[in-house]
Structure 1
Amino acid sequence: MQKQKHLPELAKKPMSKQKEQMKRKLALEEKAKENSLLGKNSSETLHDSRPAPKDSNNGSHLKDVHWSARQHHWKKNGNASPELGYEQLPKCEISGKEAVSALSRAKSKLCRQEIAEVYCQHKEGKLMPEEVIRFCPLEGKANNNVQWDEDSVEYMPTNPVRIAFVLVVHGRASRQLMRMFKAIYHKDHFYYIHVDKRSNYLHRQIIQFASQYPNVRITSWRMATIWGGASLLSTYLQSMQDLMEMKDWPWDFFINLSAADYPIRTNDQLVAFLSRYRDMNFLKSHGRDNARFIRKQGLDRLFLECDTHMWRLGDRKIPEGITVDGGSDWFLLNRKFVEYVTFSNDDLVTKMKRFYSYTLLPAESFFHTVLENSPHCNSMVDNNLRITNWNRKLGCKCQYKNIVDWCGCSPNDFKPADFHRFQQTARPTFFARKFEAVVNQEIIGQLDYYLYGNYPSGTPGLRSYWENVYDEPDGIHSISDVILTMYHSFSRLGLRRAETSFHTDSDNSCQYYPMGHPVSVHLYFLADHFQGFLVKHHATNLAASRLETLETWVMPKKVFKIASPPSDFGRLQFTEIGTDWDAKERIFRNFGGLIGPMDEPIGMQKWGKGPNVTVTVIWVDPINVIAATYDILIESSAEFTHYKPPLNLPLRPGIWTVKILHHWVPVAETKFLVSPLTFSNRQAIRQEEAVRLHSGPPKNAYMEQSFQGLNPVLNIPINAAQVEQARRTAGLTGTQLENWVDSLVGSIWSAVDICSTGPTSCPVMQACSQTSWSSLSPDPKSELGPVKPDGRLR
């Protein structure tokens, strides 16, 4: 890709009135931002779509490569870092409302400067290509059909293709990734893995298993890619260049996958099929009216990625001379076309790389457009050989508004009821997406057994799933104060269980004192039901004065209750309170609902079919202050409802109750914990901070409107002794605060079991590796072993 030239420093001449006004405006905005960020982590980082100059885990240096047409510009003041001392006036008047909005919302100086520069370049007509040369000899789009014959792909050809699988992964689902890798692995193919720059836990896990296999490599560079971001296209283009330069990897096809993909046919079937069509390129086009696609996709808008956000800066024109197309950003491309895209300096490739550097969802259009207008246009097959689980009613809820100035759609996860879709034979398909084991693992198991047969009878861990949510090398600053508070309390609950379960009058060898922060924490699921947290932690065995590492399993207690006697209202199936509601998958992503005083909880209800009804929802705080009440109209077809009442913060710590009534008759209720904090900014909380956070909202008013008149109606009396007790506990610190936290946590969570990860002086303490639940217990479905004689792992 081409680099922009660095902009010259401003000439030292008197500023125009317009520039003086703009400078004052930017200075005021900067001051306002600094005030708003006071007390928060406001450090500015470099543009996240570039990889770090050096990989922090293995120290290998990056090559000097052209990442994209868009580059960073800054004035260097001596040896100052680029993000310091950087102040440059816009080269034009920024009048577009979208650009002005982006400037006001961008967090860093560097990003605001880049927005201004890109906007001005575009305004002056220097950014976007106006015309592009088309090299395709065809009129219109190639219409290649590929035949799908189940029998013809059972026989391996004499010269089978070799595939470069490029895995672009992020998050923490290492076990799901390893299971997928196990299913697609064959010794004759190549695996190139890019791990998001922010996913250090996953990177550490992949480094461990990649070293076992000579045909697996990890990118020495890492980018922080975002949904819809230009950085994803940069990731693919750099991966392609790397693969082309690996002379010891003679691959024929490039296939991109994520950790949410899974094969639906065997490796042999895929190889046989691609060997038959080795000159083809497989991309799925949108199949709609092209003008409508351009509008819906935002291709006629100018976007810029910085501060891990895609900012919309205004309108632009599609270049003349070519047909712009697009569709899915999951594809299979042959080596000849990858070489063309990587190394060609012709008018089409050069200008399209520039055009798509400022495009939303560029990977959904760049390869389609280049292929259809290139000398390789007759190789396109309108099929990416995948099934994607689209449910646009649920998947198009603007769920990425916090990172993209646009409303985007995302596929849903597959569930067991979808399995029949993988067995269709109408068209060739070899992969499906999306899968998430925290949402449903059973479907992954069904697919795995369909492809490779059942595991032997008695194989452990087949219905269990573990996903890491905290790991010591990440540092405690990677988690919030409320989560750190809860993890510490979970550890203490586990030690108390060990003491009460294993202690006898003659033996105190199972008494412990907690030491330090947690070592690691996992979510634990069994048969697709959340079973709680597994907290690995250090403790001193008091009898032996020796440090041991234990793992505690805590499980949430049942807090949802149907009214007694039950009402004749039968539509409500369940209600739950949490944060981070996923409207697409209809689950709370904050598993276990860990909520603190400064969180904003959401109430969710699940409904059965029935007549239209209106129900009343009432939120009651720990001292019986009615915090909120509202009515919900439940339509006959409604399955879920959710609502976040606009409560004043801080919420009073303690056990809250949410009641559901129909015609003021109780239907059901649920409880949830707002935990007091033992930490503030990851340090032991001081008394003044505890009082500020634990005393509830000012004047006990959660909303402007008071609902106190409902207390006698609902028989929820406010007790003066309770109010006084809440006032006293608000100022607790140290051990007294920990005891209060533990009593509250213990009323909502139970320590089910505890085990030792290594040597222990407690004779009845089980080893974690011998349990069925511990994160150290066997998990053969996700464990990677030696390559089998047939070249596979599974």
Structure 2
Amino acid sequence: MQNPPSPTPAAAASKPDPLLFPARHLSAFVSSSDPPPPSIAYLISGSAGDSARILRLLYAAYHPRNHYLLHLDRFAVQSDREKLALSVQSDPILVAARNVDVLGKADFAYPKGSSPISATLHGASVLLRLAPNWDWFINLDARDYPLVSQDDLLHILSYLPKDLNFMNHTSHIGWRESRKLRPIIVDPGLYLADKTEMFYASQKRDLPNAYRLFTGSVFTILTRSFIEHCILGTDNLPRTLLMYLSNTPSSITNYFQSILCNSHQFKRTVINHNLQYAAFDPKGLPRELSDSDFDAMIASGAAFASRVGSEGSFLDRIDQGILKRGPDRPVPGGWCLGQSENNTCMVWGDASVLRPGPGARRLEKLIVEMLSNDAYLSRQCTVEQ
């Protein structure tokens, strides 16, 4: 069996199949005052055993306006990657929309190393080539899950400036200095083709003084212009920082934060919140979510949840109670015109028509609280002593 082909620009540029999805232009039913919905580029990543979770996450976060790149890293066997590609190719909705690609040439991504930066930048660069018109980039792990529909999310984002970056960040390094910044590692994912143990050097190094290091969470919502700055920009800091962090443990939590907060162009575009719900253990470390977290998770107003438990009942509760999604089906939205007794999304209308629900109101409340009275300005890239 041949390897799944690498994504090509032609696949993303093709229009939806008009034979499967009759064109029904419903723009007349949309208020002329409504801004046009944005588009999101999703990189959905997983490792060995995550193929089913990636596919479930794809359906939960699917919308025809967006573009999706699925990445099973090299810890997964090739047969899983091929099955994932075949699952995408066998779904009539995904085939007709032509907005889902599977990365054929996988990367290693050692969570405790620096290779996740390489994998993320690789995925982002492919999405820049595949889809020319998206507005935000979201990197989802297989254990993340949406708490609002894409209609909810796109509706709220359509009223926000397209230069806002949502990212938890702080300059307070604390214990991370001794454990994650001064140690020197060699990440085998950057140069070896086979799985190998991480190498830790005995030496330590000083923190940089040419720029300030910031840290935060892995999950971010970043603008296209900022992603282009990191990959294509003439400012050399993204490349300089990439070289510095290549020997740093868990460096993905420092890379985008440090670039953004050291950039005069972008540091005033950041919101110090990533719109994701996470729970922590008594030591302050992220923990897996369970049924006991459900009410607080929904009440938070977050758009996504992190470290969602592997138990199917918890995901089923989100699918059925929040997203109103059936098994192996996308979340119904304004673009779905089919009969309710069948898969409503098998008949496709105008993808610009959104049908926001309660999730939009929860997310709106969260964002209004963050942006009210310009309080967010005092939390932008603040240097703590």
Fold in common (TM above 0.5): yes
Alignment of 1:520-531 (within 5 A): none
Deviation at 1:156, TM superposition (A): 9.4
Task: Check 1:156–1:787 CA distance in 2 against 1; reply closer, same or farther (3 A cut).
Answer: farther
Cα distance between partner residues in 2 of 1:441 and 1:413: 14
User: Any stretches of 5+ residues in structure 1 without a counterpart?
Assistant: 1-54, 63-154, 397-408, 456-780
2:318 maps to 1:447: yes
In 1, the alpha carbon distance for the partners of 2:33 and 2:101 equals: 26
1:255 matched to 2:138: yes
Structure 2 residue aligned with 1:373: 262
What amino acid sits opposite 2:328 in the alignment? S
Q: How many Å apart are 1:273 and its aligned residue?
A: 2.4
Query: Do residues 782 (structure 1) and 328 (structure 2) align?
Result: yes
Three-state SS of the structure 2 residue aligned to 1:172 is coil
Question: CA 1:311 to 1:429, structure 2 compared with 1: closer, same or farther past 3 Å?
Answer: same
Q: Which residue of 2 aligns with 1:412?
A: 287
Aligned to 1:724: none
1:244 and 2:131 matched: no
Show CA shifts across 1:327-367 (max 9, x none): 10110100010000001243312211111111111110000
Which residue number corresponds to residue 364 of structure 2?
Answer: none
Query: Aligned runs of 1:613-762 on 2, under 5 Å?
Result: none
Partner residue in 1 for 2:156: 273
Q: How does 1:16-35 map to 2 (within 5 A)?
A: none
- Rg larger in structure: 1
Give CA-to-partner distance per residue, 1:429-473, whole Å, 9 cap, x none. 100021243xx2221111112223376xxxxxxxxxxxxxxxxxx
Asked if structure 1 preserves the Cα contact closer than 8 Å seen for 2:43 and 2:139, the reply is yes
The answer as to 2:182 corresponding to 1:300 is yes
Structure 1 residue 175, shift from structure 2 partner: 3.2
Task: Describe the shift of the 1:239–1:177 C-alpha distance in structure 2 as closer, same or farther (beyond 3 A).
Answer: closer
Higher strand share: 1
Residues of 1 paired with 2:6 and 2:298: CA distance?
44
Counting only pairs closer than 5 Å after superposition, residues 6-405 of structure 1 correspond to structure 2 as 57-58=3-4, 157-199=34-76, 200-211=78-89, 212=91, 213=94, 214-246=98-130, 248-275=131-158, 276-286=160-170, 290-295=172-177, 297-306=179-188, 308-313=196-201, 314-374=203-263, 375-393=265-283
Q: 1:239 & 1:361 partners in 2: Cα distance? A: 18
Residues 223 and 235 of structure 1 are in contact (CA less than 8 Å); yes or no, is this contact kept in structure 2? yes
CA contact (8 A) 1:178 1:783 kept: no
Q: Secondary structure at the match of 1:194?
A: strand
The 1-side partners of 2:112 and 2:279 are apart by 18
The separation in 2 between residues aligned to 1:268 and 1:454, in whole angstroms, is 13
* Structure 1 residue ranges (4+ consecutive) displaced by more than 4 angstroms after TM superposition: 59-62, 783-788
1:311 partner letter: F
Other structure's SS at 1:254 match: strand
C-alpha contact (below 8 Å) 1:229/1:362 kept by paired residues: yes
Q: Contact conserved, 1:167 with 1:194, CA < 8 A, in 2?
A: yes
Per the alignment, do residues 302 and 160 of structure 1 end up closer, same or farther by CA in structure 2, a change over 3 Å counting? same
Q: TM-score, normalised by structure 1?
A: 0.36
Equivalent pair of 1:195/1:203 in contact (CA under 8 Å) = yes
Corresponding residue for residue 101 of structure 1: none
Measured in 2, the distance between the counterparts of 1:163 and 1:157 equals 18
Report the Cα offset of residue 787 of structure 1: 4.3
Asked if 2 retains the 8 angstrom alpha-carbon contact of 1:166 and 1:257, the reply is: yes
| Contact 1:156-1:272 within 8 A present in 2 as well | no
Contact 2:54 2:142 in 1 (8 A): yes
Q: Secondary structure at the match of 2:280?
A: coil
TM-score by length of 2: 0.71
% identical aligned pairs:
22
Deviation at 1:291, TM superposition (A): 4.1
Per the TM alignment, residue 236 of structure 1 is displaced from its structure 2 partner at its CA by: 0.7
Whether the 8 Å contact between 1:156 and 1:268 is mirrored in structure 2 is no
Quickly say closer, same or farther: Cα 1:445–1:61, change in 2 above 3 A.
Answer: closer
Residues 157, 316 of structure 1: CA spacing in aligned structure 2 closer, same or farther, 3 A cutoff? farther
- Contact kept in structure 2, 1:283 and 1:330, CA below 8 Å: yes
* SS class of match (1:309): coil
Find the residue that maps to 1:204 and give its secondary structure.
helix
- Alpha carbons 2:7, 2:101 under 8 Å: kept: no
Greater share of helix: 2
| Alpha-carbon distance in structure 2 between the residues aligned to 1:193 and 1:156 | 35
Structure 1 residue 318: Cα displacement: 1.7
- Work out whether residues 4 and 102 of structure 2, in 8 Å CA contact, stay in contact via their aligned partners in 1: no
Change (3 A) 1:203 1:454: closer
Kindly indicate whether residue 296 of structure 2 is the aligned counterpart of residue 421 of structure 1: yes
Structure 1 residue 389, shift from structure 2 partner: 2.6
What are the superposed Cα offsets for residues 164-199 of structure 1, whole Å, 9 maximum, x if unpaired? 010011122433332222111011110011111231
Structure-2 separation of matches of 1:372 and 1:414 = 30
Aligned residues: 300
For residues 458-507 of structure 1, the C-alpha deviation after alignment (integer angstroms, 9 at most, x for no partner) is: xxxxxxxxxxxxxxxxxxxxxxxxxxxxxxxxxxxxxxxxxxxxxxxxxx
**Contact 2:4/2:85 (CA < 8 Å) preserved in 1?**
no
Q: Distance in 1 between matches of 2:237 and 2:304?
A: 31
CA apart distance, 1:392: 4.6
CA separation of 1:338 and 1:157: change in aligned 2, threshold 3 A: farther
